[in-house]
Amino acid sequence: MLMVISPAKTLDYESPAVTPVFTQPDHLKDSRRLIARLRQMAPAQVATLMTLSTKLAMLNVARYAQWRPPFTPQNAKQALLAFAGDVYDGLAAQDFNEREFEYVQTHLRILSGLYGVLRPLDLMQPYRLEMGTRLANERGPDLYAFWGSQVTSALNQLLATGKAPVLVNLASEEYFGVVQPREIQARIVTPVFEDWNASTGKFKVISFHAKKARGMMVRYASKHRLTNVEKLKKFDAAGYAFAARASSTDRWVFRRPAAA
């Protein structure tokens, strides 16, 4: 079982890393190509391309200028601990023990616009480059063209080690869009998290809660060291429960009657 999640826009390079263990990203040669392309752009161009304020554009232009391997604990941080958005709040890896870090290092990957595919303990330097960015490059008009084949190939290599491989899609549509589903040599299961909406009298996906729930599911799998995807149906964090009638074979719906 292999899970994939999205990165986060919010970064935390202030808090100390809670584990000394780290690895290096596999696709730094390609990351260098993207950084070289981004360094050609002025702050105003970056602001327009990524719909950023002038301040944020200038911050990221500075990041591109400062970005350079080799990555060390002094100039970089493990991806799982550097990202700090809603998914990572739900995952709460700051209290993981050694065995739990070992679990996610094997069973979790983070899709990234700059790094392609990251292991949780891969060191990374700060950046802003969302997968949906239409950054023209040597392979096509956007990052889907740049990364698609490589990300899919990397995931297939990992999935090939299992007897009945399953890819658990806990990423956003924007990020999972880089994966080429027809080329994935495994079953793809997509959990969906819905909350009760009293005003409409229906269950619906609420972005903030769904993002946090994706992280909580990774945490649940890590704490229980799951390898059988069917056991994810027992996920019960924050009041969610598997809704069999609302689910299909590979689209698993989890619902809760009221947001916790």
Return the closest-CA partner of residue 219 out of 54, 95, 48. 95
Contact 170, 179 (CB under 8 A): no
* % of residues, the chain, pLDDT over 70: 99
Distance CA 23, CA 122 (A): 4
In whole angstroms, what is the distance from residue 260 CA to residue 239 CA? 7
Helices (H), the chain: 28-38, 43-50, 54-66, 79-82, 86-91, 98-107, 143-159, 173-176, 207-224
pLDDT, average across residues 31-39: 98
Q: Using CA atoms, how far apart are residues 207 and 228, in angstroms rounded to an integer?
A: 27
Residue that the structure tokens 């996906």 belong to: 205
d(CA 178, CA 4): 12
Q: Quick one: what percent of the chain has pLDDT higher than 90?
A: 96
Given a contact cutoff of 8 angstroms between Cβ atoms, the answer to whether 213 and 241 are in contact is no
pTM of the model: 0.97
- Mean per-residue pLDDT over the chain, rounded: 97
Give the mean model confidence (pLDDT) for residues 38-45.
Answer: 98
Task: Identify the domain containing residue 59 by its residue range.
Answer: 2-256
Cα separation, 136 vs 89, whole angstroms: 33
Tokens standing for residue 219: 């945490």
Strands 251-256 and 187-197 come out as parallel
Reply yes or no on whether the pLDDT at 68 is more than 60: yes
Which candidate, 108, 238, 101, places its Cα nearest to that of 93?
101
Chain segment 108-162, per-residue pLDDT in tens: 999 999 999 999 999 999 999 999 999 999 999 999 999 999 999 999 999 998 7
Q: How far, in Å, CA of 31 to CA of 154, rounded? A: 15
Instruction: Please tell me the total count of domains within the chain.
Output: 1
Whether residue 260 is predicted with pLDDT greater than 60 in this model: the reply is: no
Answer yes or no: is pLDDT of 86 > 70: yes
Is residue 46 a contact partner of residue 87, using CB atoms and an 8 Å limit? no
User: Strand pairing of 123-124 and 77-78?
Assistant: antiparallel
Residue type, 185: Q
- For residues 128 and 174, give the distance between their C-alpha atoms in angstroms, rounded to a whole number: 15
pLDDT attached to residue 259: 57
CB burial readout 13-26, b (16+ within 10 A) else e: eeeebebeebeebb
User: Within a 10 A sphere around the Cβ of 109, how many other Cβ atoms?
Assistant: 25
Radius of gyration of the chain (CA): 18
What local confidence, expressed as pLDDT, does residue 162 receive?
77
Query: Is residue 225 pLDDT above 90, yes or no?
Result: yes
Separation between Cα atoms, residue 88 and residue 91, nearest integer Å: 5
